């Protein structure tokens, strides 16, 4: 089985005072949409890695059925959160899907396509690609968990360097959506991307 790790421990430091996970996204929040898509995919379990403003996020996700992994050292960066999430996984996992909280555009269809490609292939890493550009989320086989846990958190390379070192064991999964290469990094990203989701919800409101 493959479980999902949603990285949501950071401070949204480039958002000029806004906190990404709790921003409005259609009829949900940004993190609520991420969890909704992951819960409706083929993932076995969902682990949300929290740190900054942990209790507020817990309250917003009440009843969602996710499990939490708390990263007390979240200021050390994304790799520390990945390690925190991996430490929660069952020894029976085939792999982990690592997702970013600033990508609420990732649909269950994209997640399922990655999972199916991973199982159909013979590679230890699977990542989506849009028009040749690699994106997120990524799937990493259990055989690499220990190696990732040993990575140096002070390195500037992190997972990017790890994937580069294992390019011969990486499966590139083409997708037809730019969602995999876009994220909410600054307020302008949020304004642009959130406008794209509102018409979708309006359509479904009048077309059940």
- For the stretch 166-191, pLDDT in tens is 999 999 999 999 999 999 989 899 98
Length of the chain: 208
In the chain, domain spans: 2-206
pTM of the model: 0.91
Domain 2-206 classification at class level = alpha beta
- For the stretch 107-143, pLDDT in tens is 999 999 999 999 999 999 999 999 999 999 999 999 9
The kind and range of the H/E element at 125 are strand 125-130
Contact at 8 Å (CB) between 86 and 45? no
Cα gap 137→103, rounded to integer Å: 9
Alpha helix stretches (DSSP H) within the chain: 30-39, 54-60, 78-86, 108-120, 145-149, 158-165, 187-206
Q: Which residues contact 157 (CB under 8 A, 6 or more apart)?
A: 164
């Amino acid at each position: 089985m493959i479980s999902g790790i949603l990285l949501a421990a950071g401070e949204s430091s480039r958002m000029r005072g806004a906190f990404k996970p709790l921003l409005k996204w259609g009829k949900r929040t940004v993190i609520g949409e991420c969890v909704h898509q992951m819960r409706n995919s083929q993932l076995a379990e969902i682990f949300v890695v929290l740190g900054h403003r942990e209790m507020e996020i817990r309250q917003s996700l009440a009843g969602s059925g996710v499990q939490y992994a708390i990263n007390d050292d979240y200021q050390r960066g994304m790799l520390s959160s990945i390690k925190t999430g991996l430490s929660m996984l069952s020894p029976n996992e085939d792999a982990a899907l690592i997702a970013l909280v600033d990508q609420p555009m990732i649909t269950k269809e994209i997640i399922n396509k990655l999972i199916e490609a991973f199982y159909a292939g013979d590679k230890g890493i699977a990542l989506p690609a849009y028009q040749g550009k690699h994106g997120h989320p990524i799937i990493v086989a259990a055989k690499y968990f220990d190696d990732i846990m040993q990575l140096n958190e002070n390195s500037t390379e992190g997972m990017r360097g790890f994937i580069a070192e294992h390019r011969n064991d990486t499966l590139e999964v083409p997708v037809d959506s730019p969602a995999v290469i876009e994220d909410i990094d600054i307020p302008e990203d949020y304004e642009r991307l959130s406008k794209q989701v509102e018409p979708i919800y309006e359509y479904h409101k009048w077309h059940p």
